Amino acid sequence: MAEKYAVGVDIGGTTVKLAIIKETGDIIEKWEIKTNLEDNGASIPGDIWKSVSRKLETHGLRSSELLGIGAGAPGFVDKSTGDVAVAVNIGWKDFALADKLEQLSGLPAVVDNDANIAALGENWLGAGNQAENLIAVTIGTGVGGGIIANGKVISGVNGTAGEIGHITVETDGAPCNCGRNGCLETVASATGIVRQANQSVESGHKTVLTTLFEKNGKISAKDVFESAAAGDRISSRIIERVTDVLGLAIANAATVVNPSKIVIGGGVSDAGEQLLIPLRKAFDKYALPRISDGAEFVKAKLGNDAGVIGAAYLVKQNGKA
């Protein structure tokens, strides 16, 4: 049988990442284009297909050699229709992404949210190592979550399953983008870490963060990790709080899923062991011993490629040949 290919697309608020990937997982080419946010992102599907067509030509591939297009969008996705219900950063509302891609390309298209495709990507070619049960947590500006149970990414009735970042961890906590208060990502994202650092500075605590703030006009999550490593007590306390809350939320999610792998990715995970060691400790404190025994924490391996790889896997898994 002739080799088939899939197109993986990972749509973000700034760039759209794309890749042509063999069924075996070999990446033929990956590239990115700018996300055109004009007119509420109306031109994005057309931009995607135009760019893909050009690359197919370059590689001498016909669209009949493609299994389909998989795409991830930053928002809530109805997987059964491939519609994006809401993607705030793009401006999409009830946007029929899968239909539009199918009409443009004449190929089957499947759509899921960006955190789910990242989880699938890590599980196919990255740190997940094709686990049957896995929790992926992406800690960046927000906290994204993707859950694989019994070999499938779970979406739920309207595409909202696995939203670990919106588990409530403080019933009267800071406001979240989702309109509620005290979600995990208000504490454990880069944004949450910076918020806590700013609070400490404002309330006049003695910390090196104040000096950094005065020097740079702002504090980054990286500053907090570096200051903690250098012995700053306030920064250490913030990291302790972050890893404790994160460990608690992941332990609760793990009680539902009983995963063999917990994959931690995103910009904040660059802190490496400084994050992972206390996180594992907090997790062990809150999880059932049998859940802890079965679960291995691993750092995500694919970085920014996880999305396009997972989107291509979505095509392969759906077998829409």
> Considering the complex, what minimum distance in angstroms separates the CB of residue 284 from Zn ion?
26
Q: Compute the radius of gyration of the chain from its Cα atoms.
A: 20
Instruction: Single out the segment in contact with Zn ion by CB under 5 A; choices: 69-77, 123-131, 166-174, 223-231.
Output: 166-174
Span from 57-65, 87-95, 183-191, 247-255 in contact with Zn ion (CB under 5 A): 183-191
Min dist. Cβ of residue 221 to Zn ion (A):
18
CB of 154 to Zn ion, least distance (A): 19
Rounded distance between C-alpha atoms, residue 48 and residue 204, angstroms: 50
CA distance to 25, 74, 158, 212, 231, per residue, from 16 (Å)? 20, 11, 24, 34, 40
Interface residue with Zn ion among 17, 100, 166, 316 (CB under 5 A) is 166
Q: Does 183 bind Zn ion (CB under 5 A)?
A: yes
Could you give the angle at the alpha carbon of 24 between the alpha carbons of 18 and 30, nearest 5°? 20
Residue 87 beta carbon to Zn ion: minimum distance, rounded to whole angstroms: 16
Min. distance of Cβ 176 from Zn ion in angstroms?
3
Q: Do the beta carbons of residue 224 and residue 209 sit within 8 Å?
A: yes
Q: Work out which of 37, 42, 178, 276 binds Zn ion, going by CB under 5 A.
A: 178
Binding of Zn ion by 192 (CB under 5 A): no
SS3 80: coil
176 binds Zn ion (CB under 5 A): yes
| Contact call for residues 116 and 155 (beta carbons, < 8 A) | yes
Contact (Cβ atoms closer than 8 angstroms) between residue 129 and residue 25: no
Question: How far apart are alpha carbons 44 and 214 in whole angstroms?
Answer: 41
Q: Name which of 139 and 176 has its Cβ closer to Zn ion.
A: 176
Whichever of 163 and 305 has its CB closer to Zn ion, that residue is 163
Establish if 17 lies at the interface with Zn ion (CB under 5 A). no
Taking alpha carbons only, the member of 127, 166, 154, 120 closest to residue 257 is 154
Within its chain, how far is the Cα of 138 from the centroid?
Answer: 5
Nearer to Zn ion, 174 or 178 (CB): 178
- Candidates 23-31, 177-185, 218-226, 245-253 — which segment interacts with Zn ion by CB under 5 A? 177-185
Site size for Zn ion (CB under 5 A): 4
**Site stretch for Zn ion (CB under 5 A), options 25-33, 161-169, 284-292, 294-302:** 161-169
Nearest to 299 by CA among 274, 281, 320, 276: 276
What would the 3-class secondary structure string for 75-128 be? CEEECCCCEEEEECCCCEEEECHHHHHHHHHCCCEEEEEHHHHHHHHHHHHCCC
> Would you call 14 helix, strand, or coil by DSSP?
coil
Q: How far is the CB of 253 from Zn ion (least distance, A)?
A: 15
167 binds Zn ion (CB under 5 A): no
Query: Closer CB to Zn ion, residue 56 or residue 190?
Result: 190
CB of 188 to Zn ion, least distance (A): 12
Distance CA 140, CA 144 (A): 8
Residues lying near Zn ion in the complex (CB under 5 A): 166, 176, 178, 183
